[in-house]
Amino acid sequence: MTKTLRAFSLKGLGFVALVVLLAACGGGGGVVPSASVNLESGTGRNLAVPDVGAVQAQGGASSLPDGWMNGAFMQIYVRGYKDSDGDGKGDLKGLISQLDYLQDLGVQGLWLMPVTQSEDHDHGYAVTHYRSIDADYGSLADMSQLLTQAHQRGMGVILDHVINHASSQHPLFLNAASAKRNPQRPYFVWQDTAPSGWRVWGQNPWYSSGNGVYYAPFWSGMPDFNWKNEQVTTFHHDNLRFWLNLGVDGFRFDAVGNLVENGPTAWESQPENHRIMGQVQALLNSYDKRFMVCEAPAAPQAFAATTSCGRAFAFDLKDHILRAVRGDSAAIASLNQYFLTAPPGMATFLANHDSFAGERVWNQLSGNLAQYKLAAASYLLLPGTPFIYYGEEIGMANGSGLSGDWALRTPMSWTGQVSGFTSGVPFRAASANIAVNHVQAQHGVEGSLHSFYKTLIGLRQRLPSLARGDYSAAWAHGTLMGFQRNWGSERTLVLYNYGLMAQPVTLNALGAATRWVAEYPSAPELVAGLDGTATLSQPPQSVTVYRQHH
């Protein structure tokens, strides 16, 4: 757990306490700048800041296929993915070595958790240099090679951009904290003395630097940027252009709900945040075929609006899915209705790198493989852009003997032993079920979880209606659910039975005398009557996908 989390108890704090476990609050070392650098009579330090400076837009057309961003993404914790040099930590060269595996699975996009230089040297959210690759992961040349190799396979690469805060060891903050008159002071949020009445996720977010107090709600080692200062806008836009010019295909933006603070009761999801992210979206849209998605657990649909981020993670959907697969009829109804009103830019997922979003899916479902497959089928066939957390496709469990975020950020289980990840000593304990659930045991094996994920991702690739289509004719009854997806002349019908018994289904709105071919799994053709209805029996704990035959 992080230093912030160790400092207070979450017990009884309710929903807002959960959000403190955002990726942005990942733990690490670091200290608040000492008062010994106080040069009150002057402007204090003037350390060089290598990631400040104008960057002009460059680059031409993207080589990626149209619609690449509609395919499934893989979220990758690079430190935990594949080690290429035996130091026990994953790196960019290791990731490159596994691109064929990801391509074979059908993945079309990669989200890399922070790989920029950081003070924590682990989760990466305490950034010290926005234009440099952390030495543990490699170099800018390695990143360029990754982009080249991924693009050759039709895969885009998006980076995690920490837009809300920096490390207290970033030279911008070291300068700002050294004197009240320092010219870089306005990059962060300062007060002469700690204001009263502030409680963010159960704690006081103001910390002393010896020259006033600064605002750092996630952790004292990660001070918030002052987004009311246009210099901050320029700083981030320049750094985004740096990576876009290099060929990066977009970004995942961390903690966008926390950019602006307007008072002790107005520190989350402020109106200015949407304007800021709308400007970022405009910047990315000035490049060809770029993609962005935002993390905003408290207001995901608001940030998915076209006037804001345009896309945001569906934190308000994942729990419905995981309850639905257990047969919860209320959750099934909520899941079925979600995309009737949600923006089309929702990014669907089951779990990620943060413990506030839940344990590994294997742990949440207690290893129930039928429920696990239903959960995967639920979000992979719905609208939105699905994000798979690395290892999810093989049923990786939490790390052995670990808790909190660290239990979710463990070495990838390539084989039944950690030697599949590294030739050295791994940086962290392996998944608790590595001996059974690993790539080598499941790849190419009929009926395996990996093969199921590959099949459903393949359906998305083969049927544009599943990747880009609308959402219509949705219905739910008890543990049964269905909907249609349409793209051009292509119509698909998706049916689920979350129950433990086969159930009869009467379907409406199929169209008079239409014929429907089973795309998954193999099943007899479905023929509608002149009234557009048909009946069938849906097997227990199953999904069926039909396509209208023309």
Tens digits of per-residue pLDDT, 14-41? 333 333 333 334 433 344 444 334 444 5
List phi, psi (to 5°) of 431.
Answer: -55, 145
Tens digits of per-residue pLDDT, 295-312? 999 999 999 999 999 999
Tens digits of per-residue pLDDT, 522-548? 999 999 999 999 999 999 999 999 999
Q: Following CA atoms 60, 66, 71, 74 in sequence, which dihedral angle do they give, to the nearest 10 degrees?
A: -10
Give me the pLDDT at residue 41, please: 52
pTM, full prediction: 0.93
Domain with CATH 3.20.20.80 in the chain: 72-164+230-256+289-296+346-465
According to DSSP, residue 367 is labeled T
Tens digits of per-residue pLDDT, 182-233? 999 999 999 999 999 999 999 999 999 989 999 999 999 999 999 999 999 9
Say if domain 72-164+230-256+289-296+346-465 classifies as CATH 3.20.20.80: yes
Give me the pLDDT at residue 16, please: 32
Q: What is the 3-state secondary structure (H, E, C) of 392-425?
A: HHHCCCCECCCCHHHHHCCCCCCCCCHHHCCCCC
The pair of three-digit structure tokens given for residue 84, joined into one six-digit string: 């290429």
Cis? peptide before 521, omega within 30° of 0: yes
Domain with CATH 2.60.40.1180 in the chain: 469-549
Closest CA to 88 of 48, 65, 121, 114: 121
Rounded Cα distance between 285 and 289, Å, is 8
Rounded Cα distance between 168 and 172, Å, is 9
Question: For residue 173, how many C-alpha atoms fall within 13 Å in the half-sphere facing its CB?
Answer: 31
Give me the pLDDT at residue 59, please: 82
Q: Which fold has domain 469-549?
A: Immunoglobulin-like (2.60.40)
